[in-house]
């Protein structure tokens, strides 16, 4: 580029900022409409217990079926929903949907629902959870709520009170993405967690990086001494699974065990004209 372009570049920069802002406004506007238009879906990813060698439950994950852009992963819209407060109604919708679905599953299976900090800040989350459990008939001990470390940075007294109220309902509280936020081990003593989920970035590198391996091994040992279930996220290979088993990890979740999938329905398998049966399950709904 020729020199003396500075002004133009500045202009280009401003235009792209403007565009980004516009896109955010569009997403916000479309998110507002999405709930009423039933564009959201909850998909479920299995969680396996390595001790019993069986599925212990599933994590509920939101998907947005945009009328123009198709299926959108939460990474592309959750932050806008959080900044605009829309996560409160959207999160409540996910919670209700997940509890309704889980109430139809075998009673050995639990459901884990992700909660945003805004749902603690801007709503009476314990009240909402109590209501939804009552409404759907799901026993409290089959619901788990996943929170992240970012929740614990501010207003810890108020958050602690709400977490304790949730715990008193009989709901399990899991610390999600452990090790990625402003981790402080003192949180683990102060808050009533029943589960810690090791973030997948540690799992991804553990078989080749000795430091990552040491961290994973240590978190698992810590879980044992605190009597907290440890779940490894993002398990993709048999080598990772083998290593986790050796370290005594209780629970695993990841593509090796299953992709997030649409909820199993009570509908019967469809029989086609030539008598072949089409299974309802098995579609990959995300990656």
List residues near Mg ion by CB under 5 A.
Answer: 114, 146, 176-177, 233
Nearer Cβ to Mg ion (203/243): 203
**Which residue from 218, 216, 247, 222 is spatially nearest to 234, judged by alpha carbons?**
216
Q: Could you give the CA distance from residue 85 to residue 27 in angstroms, rounded to a whole number? A: 13
**Which residue from 124, 109, 116, 118 is spatially nearest to 74, judged by alpha carbons?**
116
Q: What are phi and psi of 12, to 5 degrees?
A: -60, -45
Query: Residues 243-282: x/- map of binding to ligand C2E (CB under 6 A)?
Result: -----------xx----x----------------------
Q: Which does 223 bind (CB under 5 to 8 A by kind): Mg ion, ligand C2E, none?
A: none
Could you tell me the smallest distance in angstroms from the CB atom of residue 182 to Mg ion?
15
Q: Is 45 in the site for ligand C2E (CB under 6 A)?
A: yes
Selected binder of ligand C2E within 47, 58, 116, 231 (CB under 6 A): 116
Q: Could you give the CA distance from residue 236 to residue 249 in angstroms, rounded to a whole number? A: 15
Query: Residues 1-30: x/- map of binding to ligand C2E (CB under 6 A)?
Result: ------------------------------
Fill in the DSSP letter of residue 213: H
Selected binder of ligand C2E within 49, 131, 155, 236 (CB under 6 A): 236
Q: In this chain, which stretch among 109-117, 165-173, 207-215, 270-278 interacts with ligand C2E, using CB under 6 A?
A: 109-117
Q: Is 230 in the site for ligand C2E (CB under 6 A)?
A: no
Selected binder of ligand C2E within 31, 78, 86, 126 (CB under 6 A): 78
Fill in the DSSP letter of residue 281: -
Q: Could you give the CA distance from residue 174 to residue 164 in angstroms, rounded to a whole number? A: 13
Could you tell me the smallest distance in angstroms from the CB atom of residue 272 to ligand C2E?
31
Nearer Cβ to ligand C2E (114/136): 114
Could you tell me the smallest distance in angstroms from the CB atom of residue 234 to Mg ion?
8
Q: What angle do CA 164, 167, 168 make, to 5 degrees?
A: 85
Q: Which does 260 bind (CB under 5 to 8 A by kind): ligand C2E, Mg ion, none?
A: ligand C2E
Q: Which token pair is 79?
A: 């932050």
Query: Under 8 Å CB-to-CB from 210, ≥6 apart: which residues?
Result: none
Q: Which token pair is 93?
A: 């919708």
Q: What are phi and psi of 43, to 5 degrees?
A: -110, 160
Q: Is 74 in the site for ligand C2E (CB under 6 A)?
A: yes
**Which residue from 181, 59, 211, 179 is spatially nearest to 117, judged by alpha carbons?**
181
What is the torsional sign of CA 134, 139, 141, 144? negative
Q: Which does 255 bind (CB under 5 to 8 A by kind): Mg ion, ligand C2E, none?
A: ligand C2E
Footprint of ligand C2E (CB under 6 A): 45, 61-62, 73-75, 78, 87, 91, 94, 114-116, 146, 176-177, 200, 233-236, 254-255, 260, 286
């Amino acid at each position: 580029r020729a020199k003396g372009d500075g002004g133009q570049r500045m202009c280009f920069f401003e235009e792209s900022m403007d565009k980004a802002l516009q896109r955010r406004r569009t997403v916000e506007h479309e998110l507002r409409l999405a709930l009423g238009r039933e564009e959201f879906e909850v998909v479920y990813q299995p969680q396996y217990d390595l001790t019993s060698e069986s599925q212990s439950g599933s994590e509920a994950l939101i998907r947005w079926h945009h009328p123009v852009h198709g299926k959108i992963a939460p990474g592309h819209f959750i932050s806008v929903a959080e900044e605009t407060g829309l996560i409160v109604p959207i999160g409540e919708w996910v919670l209700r949907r997940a509890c309704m679905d889980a109430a139809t599953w075998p009673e050995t299976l639990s459901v884990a629902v992700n909660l945003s900090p805004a749902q603690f800040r801007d709503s009476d989350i314990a009240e909402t959870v109590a209501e939804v459990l009552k409404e759907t008939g799901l026993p409290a001990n089959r619901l788990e709520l996943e929170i992240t470390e970012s929740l614990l940075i501010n207003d810890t007294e108020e958050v602690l009170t709400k977490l304790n109220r949730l715990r008193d309902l009989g709901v399990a509280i899991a610390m999600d993405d452990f090790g990625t936020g402003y981790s402080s081990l003192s949180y683990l003593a102060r808050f009533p967690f029943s589960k810690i989920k090791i973030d997948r970035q540690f799992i991804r590198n553990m078989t080749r990086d000795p430091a990552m391996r040491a961290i994973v091994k240590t978190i698992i040992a810590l879980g044992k001494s605190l009597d907290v279930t440890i779940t490894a996220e993002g398990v993709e290979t048999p080598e990772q699974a083998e290593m986790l088993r050796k370290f005594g990890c209780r629970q695993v979740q990841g593509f090796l065990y299953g992709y997030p999938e649409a909820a199993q329905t009570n509908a019967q398998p469809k029989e086609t004209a030539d008598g072949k049966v089409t299974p309802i399950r098995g579609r990959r709904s995300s990656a």
